Amino acid sequence: MVDLHVSGLGLPNLALLAVVSATAYYAAWLAYNLLLHPLRRFPGPLLHRASHLPRAYYLVTGALGHKVADLHRAYGPVVRVAPDELAFADPQAWRDIYGHRAPGEPEFEKDGRFYRPIDDMPENIVSARSREYHGALRRQLAHGFSERSMRAQEPIIGGYVDLLVHKLREACSSPVSSSPGKAEEGGKVNMREWLNWCTFDVIGDLGFGSPFGCLESGSYHPWVRRITETIRFGGVVSALMGVGLGGLVQAISRCGGMKSRDEHQKLTREKLLQRIELGAEGRPDFIEGLIRKKDELGMDLLQLQMNASLLIVAGSETTATLLSGATFLLLTNPEALEKLTNEVRSTFADDADITLSSVGSLSYMLACLNESLRRYPPVVIGLPRVVPKGGAQVAGHVIPEGTRVAVWHYAISHDPALWTDPMGFHPERFLGDPRFAGDALDAMQPFSLGPRNCIGKNLAYAEMRLILAKIVYHFDMRIAAESRGWLEGQKAFTVWDKPPLQVYLRPVKR
């Protein structure tokens, strides 16, 4: 043991020395970031250029998506949002960061701090590091997302959408969920929950082969509840990683987080084992291709589990979020709602005519969904990639290797330099209206692009069209007073933290 008195330093002096040294080190690091760092020439607020703390603060408070939009308005299309990170609001940046590469040309890897914060977790298709493993997984999953599979999935998806309509009918006429009085207004329902339950039931069935029963019970299955809670926690984890507290994240995960993680995994395992028992053939779901090739891919049960869980998270919360956003935006833009209602009700004479393929003909509906994807992109933040060895060009700028780069979904979709009236709701901008001729339509990529873009994009569009068409066909809708400000100040972590969306529904009499 060191004799502190011999060395002439008492404990208080040692503590003081430690504080002074840490402060001097931190001050030198701030000065380095501002004056000598290879990214010093890029604009951004002083505090963001100097330290990771402001980014982490906005991330945990759910305000980072809006903050980056403000920063682009103030500093232009490239902003240094943290000492080693740049945000881009330029359509070319999508292609440069996320686009396909020629063989042998390196990809911009997914940033491990965001995608793999807990290093003992097996990888899934989204977090997979290696191009080869990702490619093999994607090829296997592609079967479940083909045109042929989607046709075979139609009865499953359609069945849940019909159940949603049936349950909404019940809910809006139930005395519990209706507001008192004014029968002509219909009953009040929380559309956020019903849309979430429907998409979780659909994807649960297509991912695991067994439904979660959310619509039937009118409540969240524990598996689903846990997933929605995890999304919020993900923001905190990512912020801690960003300020260099990765060790703390690992420790929390090993102690406190472990119990609920284990329970969740147990439930996932049970569901997957039930699905495996059904056999790989004969069920047109997503997991069928993986089960068939699991030995060839070297996948154990845990890896299968990770991918099945991922498919459900990726495919349900996103779709439900967009549908909630579209419902709110339509109800607060009556002209657009009226045009959509006319389109749907004049196209279909009967409920049975509304199918996964027939809704493809609704052009105004597609424009409404695209405008909702712009105004309310389900993935709000920028999905970070790392510039490969030797550096690379992004949107005409030479960026040094190791830099964290991303295009921020919400920010680029609301940039006044790229969109006319970006805060308005104008489906017409997607229908060739000359008022919006200057819009950069390729600036929004809500499903990302390139080899790691959304594999479920076609399914998402088909499902969103079917659900919205059935709701508009069967119900007249009006926003409840308490939800009129639904979008104002809404927080977002990776996806939006949606408050309840209260809507009056009145079944259409035919």
Supply angle C-alpha 380, 384, 387, rounded to 5. Answer: 150
Q: Which residues contact 245 (CB under 8 A, 6 or more apart)?
A: none
Scan for tokens 């030797």, then name that residue: 390
User: CB 372 → ligand HEM: shortest distance, Å?
Assistant: 9
> Which one of residues 299, 381, 405, 460 is an interface residue with ligand HEM (CB under 6 A)?
460
476, containing H or E segment = strand 475-479
3-state secondary structure of 374: helix
Where does this chain touch ligand HEM (CB under 6 A) — which range of 100-108, 149-157, 246-254, 309-317?
Answer: 309-317
The CB-of-342 to ligand HEM minimum distance in angstroms stands at 25
Candidate list 284, 315, 325, 382; residue touching ligand HEM; CB under 6 A: 315
Residues 104-133 interacting with ligand HEM (rule: CB under 6 A): 125-126
Residues 359-418 contacting ligand HEM, CB under 6 A: 378-379, 383
CA distance 223 to 228: 9
Q: How far is the CB of 69 from ligand HEM (least distance, A)?
A: 17
Q: Which of 324, 448, 443, 429 is nearest to 379 (CA)?
A: 448
120: CB partners within 8 A, 6+ apart: none
User: Does 62 participate in binding ligand HEM (rule CB under 6 A)?
Assistant: no
User: DSSP per residue over 422-445, as a string?
Assistant: TTS--GGGGTT-GGGTT--GGG--
Residues ≥6 apart with Cβ < 8 Å to 372: 322, 325, 326, 329, 425
The CA distances from residue 213 to 155, 165, 198, 331, in Å, are 17, 15, 9, 28
Q: Look at residue 228 and give its three-state secondary structure.
A: helix
C-beta closer to ligand HEM: residue 311 or 387: 311
Residues between 433 and 452 that touch ligand HEM (CB under 6 A): 446-448, 452
**Of residues 49 and 374, the one with the C-beta less far from ligand HEM:** 374
Residue at shortest CB range from ligand HEM: 456
Binding test (CB under 6 A) with ligand HEM, winner from 71, 171, 311, 366: 311
Q: Return the range that interacts with ligand HEM (CB under 6 A); candidates 219-227, 249-257, 426-434, 453-461.
A: 453-461
Please report whether residue 454 would count as binding ligand HEM according to CB under 6 A: yes
Query: In angstroms, what is the minimal distance from the CB of 85 to ligand HEM?
Result: 16
Distance CA 268, CA 477 (A): 37
Nearer to ligand HEM, 135 or 424 (CB): 135
Give the span between the Cα atoms of 366 and 356, in whole angstroms: 13
How many residues sit in the footprint of ligand HEM (CB under 6 A)?
23
Amino acid at 359: V
- For 13, the enclosing helix (H) or strand (E) is helix 11-35
CB nearer to ligand HEM: pick between 208 and 348: 208
Q: How far is the CB of 394 from ligand HEM (least distance, A)?
A: 16
Tell me how far, at minimum, the Cβ of 307 lies from ligand HEM, in Å.
8
Length of the chain as a residue count: 510
Is 204 an interacting residue with respect to ligand HEM (CB under 6 A)?
no
CB of 260 to ligand HEM, least distance (A): 24
Q: DSSP secondary-structure letter at 359?
A: G
Binding to ligand HEM, residues 136-155 (CB under 6 A)? 138
Binding-site member from 140, 178, 318, 370 for ligand HEM (CB under 6 A) = 318
d(CA 369, CA 428): 11
Task: Give me the residues that bind ligand HEM (CB under 6 A), please.
Answer: 125-126, 138, 203, 311, 314-315, 318-319, 322, 378-379, 383, 446-448, 452-456, 459-460
